[in-house]
A and B are shown apart, each in its own frame.
Chain A
Amino acid sequence: MGRRSCCRRPLPVVASLGAALLFLCAAPRALRPAFENKVLGSGWFGGERKSPLQLLRELDQGPRSAMAEVHQQRRELLRRACSRHTRRQRLLQPEDLRHVLVDDKHRLLYCYVPKVACTNWKRVLLALRGRGDPGAIPAHEAHEPGLLPSLADFAPAEVNRRLRDYLTFLFVREPFERLASAYRNKLARPHSAAFQRRYGTRIVRRLRPHAQPDALARGHDVRFAEFLAYLLDPRTRRYEPFNEHWERAHALCHPCLVRYDVVGKFETLADDAAFVLHLVGEPGLRFPAPPLRPEKDLTRVQARRLFQDISPFYQRRLFDLYKMDFLLFNYSAPSYLRLQ
């Protein structure tokens, strides 16, 4: 009796493990045909229409429009900055390309940087895959993992083929405005409770002496100064890489190793987005309109206000931490900083 009952129990476990293994073996195969089919079913078969990269090259060679001129200058500035400020000669691991999203049908590669309109760009990419109006796609759905393939999922030869033939673009933002936006959105707002439990509690535990039990449990009232101290604490990055919301753009997208054809800026978002969509050649598609508030001035004012209370010592150290993003993407040091 005892032996029989003992023998019976392991069977479901073994069966579950077997099933799990079978699923793991099957899943990659199931995923691969989908991508391969899209490659084979590319709308560019037979050369009906020019790819975005071909269009961009033609724009660069012909008499240039104002927009093409702007983007040519940005590419040149980025390339020069890479040459001057970096001596990087490393190989990229697949995971380094995790932030580069792939649209095989339209031959696009987009490196997303959180807090730089990436929700809307993900909506646009989903719309290009046949999801209709980007404005109608809920934000949480746009961020669902696995919906958009990442360049990290491909073999090196496939990566290089796409880098050669696809239009590669990213959008960047003034680094301290982006940081202020990440702080306000993730650590200061009530609706980000899960985020605050994960990061806020850690910040409070480490940087706030005699913290209240409520603060230790919820992490909901992190001050900006505490957030910055957390970023500057060497232990933070030793423990794990920066969260993508405050990781430097150059560490997410590797712009000195991957060559970007279009560098869009948050400050000229509507124009730059229109330029990219023009190259894509989908006239019916519109980049979702930003909320009806003076976004540019508002974020600058917010950043200035937040940095007002930070000591020059911390301002200097924080600027050094994000300096490469300032240099590579041609942002000058904010006027409200007191760098000594």
Chain B
Amino acid sequence: MKPALLEVMRMNRICRMVLATCLGSFILVIFYFQSMLHPVMRRNPFGVDICCRKGSRSPLQELYNPIQLELSNTAILHQMRRDQVTDTCRANSAMSRKRRVLTPNDLKHLVVDEDHELIYCYVPKVACTNWKRLMMVLSGRGKYSDPMEIPANEAHVSANLKTLNQYSIPEINHRLKSYMKFLFVREPFERLVSAYRNKFTQKYNTSFHKRYGTKIIRRQRKNATQEALRKGDDVKFEEFVAYLIDPHTQREEPFNEHWQTVYSLCHPCHIHYDLVGKYETLEEDSNYVLRLAGVSGYLKFPTYAKSTRTTDEMTTEFFQNISAEHQTQLYEVYKLDFLMFNYSVPNYLKLD
């Protein structure tokens, strides 16, 4: 009996020691986590360069209530751009016959970054390849670090980014309300010339030649050669413009995204974009977005060669050969984009 009791007492002591050790460890863990949390809570609000976003303010808060004074002038500039969109939408809605409600399918161009609470509406020919690269870095959770490491074709693979139409309606509504929404725009005719040069004059874009070039030639060119009808690789800018203003074109199918209006791609009258970036101030506006997202310490908008960019002068040259009538009709097609984003009527136009 006594040996048994001794064993029990020993076991009890062992249990007590284990219990005491566990309690001690538990307490240590508690203190450790408290000390971990403390610096985060007391972090310097001016420490823009701190990479960790948890506990910091959301991009929306940063945008509408900037802490740093140097951001305030930029905030005012962007407020003016937002007001311009709002005013144009209001004026347009008085005349407009379009009265549709948004459906998830309308949100295919809105790329979502869950980690930083960002929504970016991509507009082809407005630096969207580089912005898609940035969104892949931002939402990639460490998979990528340098946006320029990402090949251009990979940035355009739809599986690599999440778009807003992939969510349920309540999820969409929550994100539209809580995330910072931004887009980048470009002078509409410069964008058009850029799309034309890239899609119809580059030899490697054979799929565009076959799909759109052949159609344009078949419809717009009298006495087209068999080779032209087969390859569609020598569309002239005048033919492209005639195709765009032909009412049959949009009745047949919506414009391709490369020459579709921003108004129809991003729905700025239904979705209130918090930030309207402009191609003409691309680097400043892009770095402002990154700063609001709290990542400007380690992520910058990539600078790249401007040698191939479509410029004002180039656009002017291309429009020399367009008749006054066609210029007027084309302006009507893109008029909302001019007004909404405050681009004046180009001076090379012969509008009567």
Interface of A toward B, CB cutoff 8 Å: 76, 79-80, 83, 87, 89-93, 156-157, 159-160, 163-164, 168, 257-259
Contact = CB atoms under 8 A, between A and B. Distances in A.
B86 A83 contact: yes
A164 B98 CA distance: 6
A79 B93 contact: yes
A257 B169 CA distance: 15
Contacts of B222: none
A160 B102 CA distance: 9
A79 B269 CA distance: 13
A76 B173 CA distance: 27
17 contacts: A76-B94, A83-B90, A89-B176, A89-B271, A90-B176, A90-B177, A91-B103, A91-B172, A156-B103, A157-B103, A160-B100, A164-B98, A164-B99, A164-B100, A168-B99, A257-B101, A258-B99
B140 interface: no
B169 A163 contact: no
B253 to A, nearest CB: 15
A317 B86 CA distance: 31
A163 B100 contact: yes
Contacts of A160: 100-101, 103
B42 interface: no
Contact of A164 (B97, B103, B270): B97
**Tier of interface size on chain B:** 20 to 34
Interface string B275-310: 000000000000000000000000000000000000
B100 A91 contact: no
A93 B169 CA distance: 7
A91 B272 contact: no
A102 to B, nearest CB: 15
A91 B104 contact: yes
B172 A89 contact: no
Contacts of B97: 164
B86 A163 contact: no
Given A87-B272, A93-B169, A258 B101 contact: yes
Contacts of B100: 160, 163-164
Contacts of B104: 91
Given A87-B272, A90-B173, A90-B177, A259 B90 contact: no
A90 B271 CA distance: 8
Contacts of A163: 99-101
A258 B101 CA distance: 7
Interface in B61-106: 86, 90, 93-94, 97-105
Contacts of A258: 99, 101
Given A89-B271, A164-B98, 16 more contacts: A79-B93, A83-B86, A89-B270, A89-B272, A91-B104, A91-B173, A91-B176, A93-B169, A156-B101, A156-B105, A157-B103, A159-B101, A160-B100, A163-B99, A163-B100, A257-B101
B270 A259 contact: no
Contacts of B90: 79-80, 83
Residue of A80, A91, A257 most packed against chain B (CB within 10 A)? A91
A161 to B, nearest CB: 9
Nearest to A168: B99
Contacts of A164: 97-100
A156 B102 CA distance: 9
A85 B346 CA distance: 36
Contacts of A168: 99
B231 to A, nearest CB: 36
Contacts of B272: 87, 89
A164 B97 CA distance: 7
A60 to B, nearest CB: 10
A164 B101 CA distance: 10
A135 to B, nearest CB: 33
Interface string B169-199: 1101100110000000000000000000000
Central interface residue in B99, B103, B170, B271, by most chain A CB within 10 Å? B99
A212 B111 CA distance: 59
A157 B101 CA distance: 10
B183 to A, nearest CB: 14
A257 B102 CA distance: 9
A113 to B, nearest CB: 19
A257 B104 CA distance: 15
Contacts of B177: 89-90
A163 B169 CA distance: 20
A83 B92 CA distance: 13
A66 to B, nearest CB: 20
Contacts of B98: 164
A83 B94 CA distance: 13
A89 B267 CA distance: 11
B225 to A, nearest CB: 41
Contact of A91 (B93, B94, B99, B169): B169
B198 to A, nearest CB: 32
